[in-house]
Every structure is written in structure tokens, then in C-alpha cells.
Structure 1
Amino acid sequence: MRALEIGGQTVPVSELFYSFQGEGMNRGRRALFVRLMQCNLTCGYATPPGRGDMTIRGKMLCDTEYTWNTAKPGFGDGARQLMPVQVWEELLGLDPATNNPGLTVNDLVIEQGDAHVIERVLV
């Protein structure tokens, strides 16, 4: 990931955290996670929800709806607007290797959320 400053542009960040990747070819690896507030997928909804009482339908249900569905009361309350360089600095602070020279620096960052924001600002 390159930490870029793009004309003062910020991204809506729901969560930044350190954990282990739980799926795919990187399963079990240490990872830093970036969850953006917006999401261009509508898992379980026919269209993006506009009300908190909309019914979820479909085969694929979102397990992180709390990070993006602002139509539901309380969802999205913790979102912060951060510059990409701020995201990067916070991720470095979350990596245990930053303060422990005995650990290999984490090289896996998992970005989740609005693919359009990720493409435009973070990558």
C-alpha cells in the first residue's frame, strides 16, 4: 500500500485493526485490516438500504453491515474521516513489529469496503 496525499482527500474509515487473516490463501497470516465506511456491495439487499427496517433477502448476507449501513440507528457512529497517510500511520502503530524488532514487519493489509474509494484514494 502506498500512503498518498491526494489533494486533502479523506476516506471514511469504520475500523482499523490487527488480527489474523481468516480465509483464502493468506489464512493464518498476521494482517492489518482497513474497513471503510462505505461499501459498493449490497449483500442481502436488492438495492442499498435507505431505511433501517428494510428486510434482508438473498443468499449472501453481509457480516459487517454495522460498518456501512447508516440507515440503521447506531450503525456508522464510529466512522472517522482520515487522510490515506493517517490510515497508514495508524496501521503502523497497530503492527506489533513496529515496536518489536524481533518480529517480521507485517506485509499484509486487507482493505474492505467501497472498491471505488479504495481505487481512487488508497491504492
Structure 2
Amino acid sequence: MLPLAEIFYSLQGEGLRTGQATVFVRVAGCSLACSFCDTDFRVRREITMDEVVNEVRGYGSSWVCLTGGEPTLYNEVGTLCDRLHDAGLRLQVETNGMFPRPGWRLDHITVSPKETEGGTLDPWYLEHATEFKYVIDDRSDLRRALANPTAGTPGGPLLYLQPNALNPDAVRLCVGAVQEHPDRLRLSLQTHKLLQIP
């Protein structure tokens, strides 16, 4: 049984895959308690692997996003990755980057490091992430993003800045940083919130 918060169908609202139809499997539980977190990841469903695969396939999208909470907390999610891949689906994981999962079959890895909230980025992700997304509230957050040694470099993972929605100054800071580092940084907005969809 997997501890899930929810399964839902929407559009990916952040990062490289923005705008693509995606089935989201939100895993319950997280290793952190971020002050800015806007996600309810309490356990609302205990569900078998077969039930997850059947429900996800029923939506008809080829993309599945494993999100949380923190999906890499659970070894069982690796088994779910195998089952979903065997069903012909493509997988994205959204993680805080604390727990490496080299054996998981993933097509897209989005890492949102949370050093200010007590998280420690595992070095494995520096070489294996598709993209890094840093939530930016102030200049210290921006410095942390720019200190990532591989993200936003030629051949490295993409580097996105996402302004903290609760701070209007963060938008200006992010836009200015992207303009200052046009070949390294990209801006990521939570477009699903702008569209008022899940």
C-alpha cells in the first residue's frame, strides 16, 4: 500500500514541462516542514500499486509526475516507477534532493533544494537532475541558486528561479537576475495557479 494524498489530472505548471498534460501522483509525507509550503500532503488514500497504475492510465496522458510531500522517502515509489514505465508512461519526479534514487526509472528529475529549511542536497542530483528550481524570497536565496556548480551550465541541468508568491519583491529580484544571467537562469512561474487549475 502506498500512502497518497491524491491523484489528479492537470497541466504541469512549472519548469521545462510547463503546459503539458500530466497525471500527478501526490505522495503523502515530507522530510521537511517548509515555511512557504502551499501543499496539503497528509495521507488521504491508502492504495495498491495496481490501483495507482489503473487510475493513472485511465486519464490517457503519457506523463506522470510523482510529487509530494517527498516521493523519494519511500522505497515503494521505485517499484511504482517500474510499474508505470512498464505501462508505457513517462515519469517526472519532484524532489527536495535529499535522498538519491539511482535505481529508479525516471525520465525527468526536478530538484527544488530547501537548504534554508534544513534540507541538504545530495551530490548525486548535481549530475542526474534535469532541472533545479529554487524558490526565491531574497538575495540570499539567489546566491544559493547561483552557487549550484552544475545547474545552468552547458550540458548541465537547467536552472529555474521561482519567486515566492507571497513576496512581490521576489518577482522583481528574479526577473533582474534572469536578465543579468541570460544564458544561465530561467524564470518559472506557477502557471497552474495563474490559470486557477489544480
Which has the larger helix fraction? 2
The answer to whether the Cα contact below 8 Å between 1:36 and 1:67 also exists between their aligned partners in 2 is: yes
Structure 1 segments (4+ residues) deviating >6 Å: none
Deviations 1:54-85 (A, max 9, x none): xxxxxxx1110x223xxxxxxx5xx1111122
Q: Distance in 2 between matches of 1:31 and 1:120?
A: 19
1:80 aligns to what?
45
Which has the larger strand fraction? 2
The answer to whether the Cα contact below 8 Å between 1:35 and 1:112 also exists between their aligned partners in 2 is: yes
- Aligned counterparts, 1:1-12, within 5 A: 10-12=1-3
Quote the RMSD (CA, aligned, Å).
Answer: 1.8
1:108 aligns to what?
63
Q: Taking CA–CA contacts closer than 8 Å with sequence separation of 6 or more, which of the two structures ends up with the larger relative contact order? A: 1
TM-score (norm 1): 0.56
Q: Distance in 2 between matches of 1:42 and 1:25?
A: 26
Number of aligned pairs?
78
Shift of 1:90: 0.9
Shift of 1:30: 0.4
1:25 aligns with 2:16: yes
Q: Distance in 1 between matches of 2:14 and 2:65?
A: 11
Q: Percent identity?
A: 33
Structure 1 unpaired stretches of 5+: 1-9, 45-60, 69-75, 98-105
One-letter identity of the residue aligned with 2:13 = G
The answer to whether the Cα contact below 8 Å between 1:31 and 1:107 also exists between their aligned partners in 2 is: yes
